[in-house]
Amino acid sequence: VTGTAPAAPAAFLAGCRSAVGDRHVLVDPDLTASYAVDWTGRWRGTTPAVVRPASTAEVGEVVALARRHRVALVPQGGNTGLVGGGVPLAGEVVVSLGRLAALGDVDRVAGQVTAGAGVTLAALAAHAAAAGLAFGVDLGARDSATVGGMVATNAGGIHVVRHGAMRAQVVGVEAVLGTGAVVSRLAGLVKDNTGYDLAQLLCGSEGTLGIVTAARLRLVVPPPELAAALVGLRDVDAAVALAAAVRREVAGIAALELMDGPGLEVVARYLDAAPPVASGAGAYLLVEAGGADDPLPALAAAIEGAPGVVDTAVAGGRADRARLWRWREAHSEAGGALGVVHKLDVTLPGAALAGFCADVRSRVAAARPDAVVLLFGHVGDGNVHVNVVGPPADDEEFDDVVLGLVVERGGSISAEHGIGTAKRRWLARDRSPDEVAAMRAIKAALDPDGVLNPAVLVG
């Protein structure tokens, strides 16, 4: 989507200037341009203005003005989303939350902290570490992704198997709803059965119900000792079974990452190196565990003699662990080096996971014989990233091949990334008409004028 941004009503802009200060209402296209395109460059819109409030009260004023003047808003955090949910694709006004960057003292007794929507994940992690604690969610975009966006999209990452996704870290939120109502529950109440959990409803709502301005977040105790193992296995079935076994038998499993054999060969060519375990396995499992004592002996015992194990490499120290992780992390780069990557981020029910991994390769091969497929993901969560190089960027028919198989097998067409604008047409195939209708009813209840991200999710 490109073109000229529609003008915002002058009265709306005047109100915003009065609310947040002249210099925080950007209308110069040179200044607004970077807010109108996502980091991948795939989603490019236009905006008449970027408004940068610095408090919940200012966000409230902006929402009130938007309702009065019927101006559509797109809330924007670190702009690291992958589904076009945070950029003004239909000429919306951008509400950038970067100035809400307050970070409260760590409550070491409760293991909690309050962070403004604009605090980056990296800043939050450093703040927690300074108090001897850690934040339970980590992901690659940590230097840019912000707390508000992570709550709004229920961000996941590599530690979901250990600590859950973003919604499991959220003790409470402060937010301005589309009705203008302010929700504020930041006292850190772990138990609070006083009505509907509005914080949980906002988690994953992608800015369509309210604008999250702050969150009270759970912190976790980082394990003093960490160990990792990279295991080559006969096939994906064996890898899935081993993942389940180590999860039962080894305390403190922090990550369980699956890679299939053909994908790892692509990575080996990209890295121009031999993998640290005998190559030619059908699948690879990367396990990381943490504990008060060295988890390596328990990890090695759980792997040794497990069905289908071909070869294993273990690592204790940070550098050795990083060497194993490199094989997992290079999957994205290895795909990108070959061309445009179709990134399909899906979840399967546990029992359907191995079958899906086998079948998706043959379906892709039948549909697009020359495609290169990298198949990897967070097996502990049933989350597979199907990265495919070959089909042209706009080949949505190809995406249908993969996502159709996912729906057929009872999976979810978006594990971590959300719906945004990119997957809107898929929502109705993944969720029943009844479920979509319920979502629309909630949307109408909390954003009756449709001013918040009207083109996203159920918009």
The answer to whether the beta carbons of residues 453 and 95 sit under 8 Å apart is no
Residue 269 CB, nearest approach to a copy of itself (Å): 30
Residues 372-401 that bind a copy of itself (CB under 8 A): 378, 380-383
Count Cα atoms within 13 angstroms, Cβ side, for 459. 26
103 DSSP assignment: B
Asked if 452 touches a copy of itself (CB under 8 A), the answer is no
Residue 209 CB, nearest approach to a copy of itself (Å): 8
Binding mask 216-255 for a copy of itself (x = CB under 8 A): -----x------------------xx-xx--xx--xx---
Report the residue count for the chain.
459
Asked if 198 touches a copy of itself (CB under 8 A), the answer is yes
Residues 417-436 that bind a copy of itself (CB under 8 A): 417-419, 423, 427, 430-432, 434-436
The answer to whether the beta carbons of residues 312 and 303 sit under 8 Å apart is yes
Of 121, 341, 415, 451, the one binding a copy of itself by CB under 8 A:
415
Of 108, 269, 318, 425, the one binding a copy of itself by CB under 8 A:
108
Tell me which long-range contacts 389-398 makes (C-beta under 8 A, separation of at least 24).
389/335, 389/338, 389/339, 389/340, 389/341, 389/342, 390/339, 391/342, 392/340, 393/42, 393/340, 395/342, 398/342, 398/367, 398/368, 398/371
Of 188, 232, 261, 335, the one binding a copy of itself by CB under 8 A:
188
Asked if 413 touches a copy of itself (CB under 8 A), the answer is yes
The answer to whether the beta carbons of residues 178 and 211 sit under 8 Å apart is no
Size of interface with a copy of itself, in residues (CB under 8 A): 90
- CA distances to 3, 207, 426 from 73, rounded to whole Å, are 18, 9, 23
Residue 34 CB, nearest approach to a copy of itself (Å): 26
> In the chain, what are the helix, strand and coil shares in percent, each to the nearest 5?
35, 20, 40
Residue 211, Cβ density class (10 Å: 0-12 exposed, 13-18 middle, ≥19 buried): buried
Q: Considering beta carbons, is residue 189 or 271 the nearer one to a copy of itself?
A: 189
Residue 409 CB, nearest approach to a copy of itself (Å): 9
Asked if 101 touches a copy of itself (CB under 8 A), the answer is no
35 DSSP assignment: G
Residue 413 CB, nearest approach to a copy of itself (Å): 6
Of 64, 270, 439, 449, the one binding a copy of itself by CB under 8 A:
439
Residues 338-367 that bind a copy of itself (CB under 8 A): 347-351
